[in-house]
Chains A and B, each alone.
Chain A
Amino acid sequence: MGIKSDIRLIDDNGLRIDGRLPNQLRPIKMEVGVLERADGSAYIEWGGNKIITAVYGPREAYPKHVQEAEKAIVRARYSMAPFSVDERKRPGPDRRAVELSKVISEALESVIFVEKYPRTSIDVYIEVLQADAGTRVAGITVASLALADAGIPMRDLIVGCAAGKIDGVVVLDLNKEEDNFGEADVPMAILPRTKEIALLQMDGDMSYDELKTAMDMAMEAAQTIYKMQIEALKKKYTEVV
């Protein structure tokens, strides 16, 4: 974000560097139930992002002092594989991963009926195998599929979607180059049924009107992604016979 360069992110025809329109998503592919031993799991390919998620629980929370007498705690762990980015990333949680784990946990907790399972923890492991901007929103999208697959009661599925501003134009779903050389990035997590917002962050700067446009764009795209999520969940069970 904010790195000065002479790269033109939008060409004369109004197309972006990967040939997309400003309000066009990258191709998305989702699959549910990819891991044998996890209680629930899912995999997503969102443009260049490849993310696998596993859910365990509800199970008794340990260490015991983290238990909450009235509700389950949701512990999401976002981690990027060392080989997920161009230059090898040092393994283990860094400042960014800790922050994302926290915001993702909170976003997911808002849709789960946590009060049904007192004293337990629901553990969500989000492993980014290949990163290409927008991994947190893709991670939230795929984590909600894994939670549904694990049979955890939820108010709604949750959809992550990002919008941003590049070369002065508000666009949807930034890719890596646009994220690095663009002006702003707004990742959002949306509950598609009620259109509530579970996560809203902004990196870079935009005017109020631009932010509103970006949010509307993401909101609209969330409905598209929501349909894909439903399809992915139902596919696991309709392909059996």
Chain B
Amino acid sequence: MEKGKGIRKIVVPGELIKEVGKPGNGVFVEKGKMYSAYLGIVETRAGYVNVIPLSGCYIPKKGDKVIGKIIDIAPMNWVVDINAPYYAPLHVNDVPWHVDFGYTARYLSIGDVILAKVSNVNDLGQVWVTMKEQGLRKLEGGHLIKISPFKVPRVIGRGGSMIQMLKEYTGCRIYVGQNGMIWISGSPEGIITVIKAIRMIENEAHTYGLTDRIKAFLEKERGEENGN
């Protein structure tokens, strides 16, 4: 990543990609030439040319930590909305509690937010999630926002730098799911600042020098909070 201002190169669907390399994600080959399948930015990594979409829905991958919302309850499972094209069932065997048949609603009810892991995905696109792993739990209270899943890496930042900065400046607890759902808990002012900062990251994800601008923004916001 280069320093300073500027915008990465944007391609539209069907645009010829001039970069050389093997075709990676988000590109397709026709008559030996590479074209972009998405409205996105071109990136070359490890000899592969990828197009990273600027928007779109989350495609579940096995092992992803996601934040989901319970949308339905059945005697043996819950149905979780993980912001993907498909809803994901959460079976009673996949939760850290012992649940008797038919008592699912005692543990998780509709509207509850959970931190879960994608345990399996098949070719048909069916997804299963699990909560049986350390750190996976129900998220009580807090605020939930949605961003494009392709912008999650920018919100987290290199080595978690961006998210660490957000936490430090606002004192909020933040969880970012790979599916673009973000859970924030803390003081109301802190939450508002975090949401503003995340929206800023979302809108400017394809530009250079973003961390510095977010830092300046957070410093300004904190200054206002202290009445300076």
A interface vs B, CB < 8 Å?
Answer: 39-40, 57-60, 69, 111, 113, 117-120, 148-157, 191-193, 229-230, 233-234, 237-238, 240-241
Contacts and interface: CB of A to CB of B under 8 A. Distances in A.
A233 B56 CA distance: 15
A154 B13 contact: yes
B14 A193 contact: yes
Interface in B98-132: 123-125
A154 B85 contact: no
Please list the 9 inter-chain residue pairs (A to B) with the smallest Cβ-Cβ separation, ordered nearest first.
A151-B56, A156-B14, A151-B55, A154-B13, A153-B37, A58-B85, A148-B39, A151-B53, A120-B85
A151 B85 contact: no
B82 to A, nearest CB: 12
Given A39-B55, A230-B15, 6 more contacts: A150-B55, A151-B39, A151-B56, A151-B57, A233-B10, A240-B7
Contact of A148 (B12, B35, B123): B12
Contacts of A149: 39, 55
Interface residues of B, number: 31
Contacts of B206: 237
B228 to A, nearest CB: 27
B86 A233 contact: no
A113 B14 CA distance: 12
B57 A39 contact: yes
B7 A238 contact: yes
Contacts of A120: 85-86, 125
A149 B10 CA distance: 13
Interface of B: 5, 7, 10, 12-15, 26, 28, 35, 37-40, 53-57, 85-87, 123-125, 148, 150, 203-204, 206-207
A118 B55 contact: no
Given A150-B55, A151-B148, A234 B38 contact: no
B56 A237 contact: no
Contacts of A69: 124
A102 B57 CA distance: 25
Contacts of A240: 7, 203-204, 207
Contacts of B207: 240-241
B203 A157 contact: no
B85 A117 contact: yes
A210 B38 CA distance: 37
A60 B83 CA distance: 11
Contacts of B86: 60, 119-120
A151 B38 contact: yes
A60 B125 CA distance: 10
Given A119-B86, A240-B203, A153 B13 contact: yes
B57 A154 contact: no
A58 B86 CA distance: 9
Contact of A60 (B28, B37, B85, B148): B85
Nearest to B206: A237
Nearest to A40: B55
Contact of A151 (B7, B54, B124, B204): B54
A36 B40 CA distance: 19
Given A118-B125, A156-B13, A59 B56 contact: no
B149 to A, nearest CB: 10
A47 B124 CA distance: 44
A221 B143 CA distance: 49
Contacts of B53: 151, 153
A151 B57 CA distance: 7
Nearest to B149: A151
Contact of B26 (A57, A153, A241): A153
Contact of B14 (A60, A152, A155): A155
Nearest to A147: B13
- Residue among B86, B123, B150 facing the most chain A CB atoms (10 A cut-off): B86
A119 B127 CA distance: 13
Nearest to B51: A153
A217 B70 CA distance: 54
B147 to A, nearest CB: 13
